[in-house]
Amino acid sequence: MSVYLKSHAILFVVALSLLVLMSFAVKTYAESSAILSRPKAVQVIEVLAIEYPPFTSATLIDSGLSFRLLNGRVAHSSLSINAHFLPSARAQKQVDSGQWIASFYPPTSPVPVVYRKIPLSNQPLEIGLFRLLPSDSDQPFRWSQLNELAGLKVAIGRRSSAGPLSTQLTEAKVQVIETDSLNQGFQLLQRGRVDAVFAEKLSGFFTVQLLGLSETQFQFSETVFEQTPIAIWVNTIHPNGRWLIEVLEQSRKH
């Protein structure tokens, strides 16, 4: 075979090899692209909650304001939220066990570092006291020191009654009356069995409406114990908990 033919034969083999390699590369790229573009399977995140309207309730559209905010934040991800409502005692037991991914029911203090509180809104909620509107409606409902409330009977949910605020109220000579729900607290207030109800402002007035009472009968305190945004607790030990945090943090940037 002449040198000319040999060189052409070599070039032909090289060209054929390049074609094979390119074909393999294109096939591999196509397969990789298909994998990357393939939509991820929907992952259901179970979120614990108790009846606390209008924020969380099985009787409300979208399960309440808190779930509406949460669903809005994960809308463009492959996560799906499943609201799991429990009585408060069972919710506390499950949260304390660590067998959960996300919860609107807070863990017991001191909170383990593996549990993260993620805000879902910037609008703060006000937590204070409700009382029956006095005959002198211009009388302000405020205090600068807790001992100014000495002698009052204050209805507080069992969960809150186990916290530091309850201890502070007791030390200030305030009689703490434990209740199972806000409904019970406002019913006691209307009957004159307690002097005030410890509650978040929006949920308090919502409860008044549910009971068929007039909002004008009640007065919310100008002094508040706390201002806090709607937030969700996430268990970072669970991989889906870490995934949820990533999605929530990304959605907050947009």
Domains of the chain, by residue range, sit at 43-122+229-253, 124-228
| pTM: predicted TM-score of the whole model, two decimal places | 0.76
Task: Give domain 43-122+229-253's CATH number out of 2.60.40.10, 3.10.150.10, 3.40.190.10, 3.40.50.1400.
Answer: 3.40.190.10
Taking 70 as the pLDDT cut, the residues of the chain under it are 1-41, 161-162, 254
pLDDT at position 108, please?
84
Question: 10 Å Cβ neighbour count for 118?
Answer: 17
Tell me whether the CATH fold assigned to 43-122+229-253 matches the one assigned to 124-228: yes
Check: CB of residue 233 under 8 Å from CB of residue 117.
yes
Q: Which ranges of 38-143 would DSSP assign to H, the alpha helix?
A: 65-73, 88-97
What pLDDT was estimated at residue 2? 47
- Domain range 124-228, CATH architecture: 3-Layer(aba) Sandwich (3.40)
The whole-number pLDDT of residue 17 equals 46
pLDDT at 73: 96
Residue 179 sits at φ, ψ, to 5 deg, of -130, 160
Write the Ramachandran bin of 97: left for phi over 0, alpha for psi from -120 to 50, otherwise beta. alpha
d(CA 200, CA 238): 31
